Amino acid sequence: MKQVVIIGNGISGITAARNIRKLSDLEITVISAETDYFFSRTALMYVFMGHMKFEHIKPYEDWFWKKNNINLINAYVNKIDVSEKKLYLSGAGTIEYSILILALGSVTQMFGWPGQDLKGVQGLYSYQDLELMEENVINVKHAVITGGGLIGVEMAEMLMTRGVLVTFLVREKGYWQNLLPEEESQLVSRHLRSHGVELKLESELEKIIGDENGHVVSVKTNHGEILDCEFVGLTAGVKPNIKLLEETPVETSKGIMVDLYLETSVEDIYAIGDCAEMRMPEEGRISIEAVWYAGRMMGETIAHTVSGHKTAYKPGKWFNSAKFFDIEYQTYGNVGNVLHAGEDKFYWEDASGTRCLKFVFDKETNILKGINVFGLRMRHEVCDRWLRENRTIFYVMEHLKEADFNPEFSSKFDREILDKFNDGGFGAEVVLSKNQSVFSKFLGF
Ligand SMILES: Cc1cc2nc3c(=O)[nH]c(=O)nc-3n(C[C@H](O)[C@H](O)[C@H](O)COP(=O)(O)OP(=O)(O)OC[C@H]3O[C@@H](n4cnc5c(N)ncnc54)[C@H](O)[C@@H]3O)c2cc1C
């Protein structure tokens, strides 16, 4: 019988394993070096903050795998021999495969900062990083985090629950400005400051300074400023984990190159999740999408192919969600940090400056292209449908209520949003339809 071996027990590898089991009676083995069982990486912060125990972020009971005849091995794969179809495991011998699925995830980006290996300096990606953070945070009064992305904000929130003062160094003029448009970036920047984060914009880490025991004591910024700190968080992004492929013929660029069917350049080897780089991404999508939903969708897709029904990866309309302290964020379709040629936008922000909604649409056809929403939650299926059905901005405004996830809460803003739209000179008066309206940190379950 064919032996399917999956390296990586994150969302992509585990989704593949579960779905292959549903669709076939192939032998399935999942090898991972991080933990015995799958857990929700997106919820690691809640374990640190004491909101949940580690057990709570494991979506499946430990018996689930045996019952479903999915073989789990906790080991590190050192080497892949593609001609013999064999894997070499650290301290656990070798294992042969008929089909190999690489679900290797990401690793923290390190830019070779002087002092990045000092004690008290770390990134946040793995369960081991979480354990290290528990050790490193002891007696810390001041931390410096560098890199204006999502993981940095999570780290800031985690540290602040332990009474640590956080200084956040962000290279751009506003938080996450390489992705967020100006208004949204300003909203999040204000929000971080209101939570007590010292946000230093247009500031970069130049070097990390240690004491005689090799522990961090301060950092120096590109402006020559010295900031005393006992903890440094390096959160300037992640990159595909592709080291294992170095001595193999499997083609890599930034990630592991895959085609529409998630096939690598070597027969019977596939790559999914954060480590995969699409040769030809769908229009409006990027080649590496290091997010939970993409990993899950790739896992589902590969299961069909491996089980005998060759299936192309069709990610559909882009969606992602996150949380910035207590502000929820959702994004649908294409909202660039600046408008592209031929695009127009409608932007509403409430009086408190903590909620906003942005629609990007085509200037000529008025067809909706993307949505950003902060502080309100919209119904995923409705927003996704508007985009798939090429609805115009006028239709969307008229049917706004349909997308309210929590009508009692959101409906008071619908009127305000519509009034602003009608005042905005978009060329047509819109009234709300009678359709009824209907949002927690995303745990990824
Ligand atoms: C703190 C944090 C918060 C996040 N929040 C969000 C969010 O809110 N929304 C969102 O969409 N995404 C979020 N993400 C991103 C999301 O978690 C990832 O996109 C997703 O987990 C990637 O899944 P994966 O299956 O591709 O890889 P991973 O989950 O990284 O799993 C890969 C596994 O393979 C193992 N492995 C790698 N190489 C080997 C080897 N040689 N031998 C054995 N095992 C190996 C690794 O140890 C790891 O366990 C967050 C990420 C982090 C770190």
Give the pLDDT confidence score for residue 204 in this predicted structure: 95
User: Kindly report the CA angle at 237 between 231 and 239, in degrees rounded to 5?
Assistant: 125
Ligand 1 pocket test, pick from 159, 292, 323 with the greatest ligand atom count within 8 Å of Cβ, gives 292
| The listed CATH number (3.90.1200.10, 3.30.200.20, 3.50.50.60, 3.30.360.10) that belongs to domain 3-107+239-306 | 3.50.50.60
Whether the domain at 3-107+239-306 and the domain at 319-423 fall into the same CATH topology: no
Ligand 1 and 105: CB distance under 6 A: yes
Q: Which protein residue has the closest C-alpha to ligand 1 atom 8?
A: 322
Ligand 1 and 9: CB distance under 6 A: yes
Give the pLDDT confidence score for residue 177 in this predicted structure: 87
Domain range summary for the chain, segments of one domain joined by +: 3-107+239-306, 121-236, 319-423
DSSP 52-87: S-GGGG-SS-TTHHHHTTEEEEE--EEEEETTTTEE
Tally DSSP H helices, then E strands, for the chain: 10, 25
Structure tokens at 390: 């090429």
Q: Which parts of the chain sit beneath pLDDT 70?
A: 409, 427-429, 431-445
Structure tokens at 16: 């593949």
Q: Could you tell me the fold of the domain covering 319-423?
A: Enolase-like; domain 1 (3.30.390)
DSSP 344-387: EEEEEE-TTSS-EEEEEEETTT-BEEEEEEESS-B-HHHHHHHH
CB atoms within 10 A of CB 42: 21
Give the pLDDT confidence score for residue 424 in this predicted structure: 79
In this structure, is the dihedral angle defined by the CA atoms of residues 431, 187, 315 and 292, taken in order, positive or negative? negative
Does pTM surpass 0.85?
yes
Residue 9 · residue 100 · CB < 8 Å: no
Ligand 1 and 104: CB distance under 6 A: yes
Ligand 1 and 76: CB distance under 6 A: yes
Give the pLDDT confidence score for residue 388 in this predicted structure: 95
Distance CA 156, CA 189 (A): 13
Ligand 1 center–CA 9 separation, angstroms: 9
Cβ within 8 Å of residue 275, ≥6 positions away: 8, 102, 103, 104, 105, 106, 240, 241, 242, 255, 256
Architecture of 121-236 per CATH?
3-Layer(bba) Sandwich (3.50)
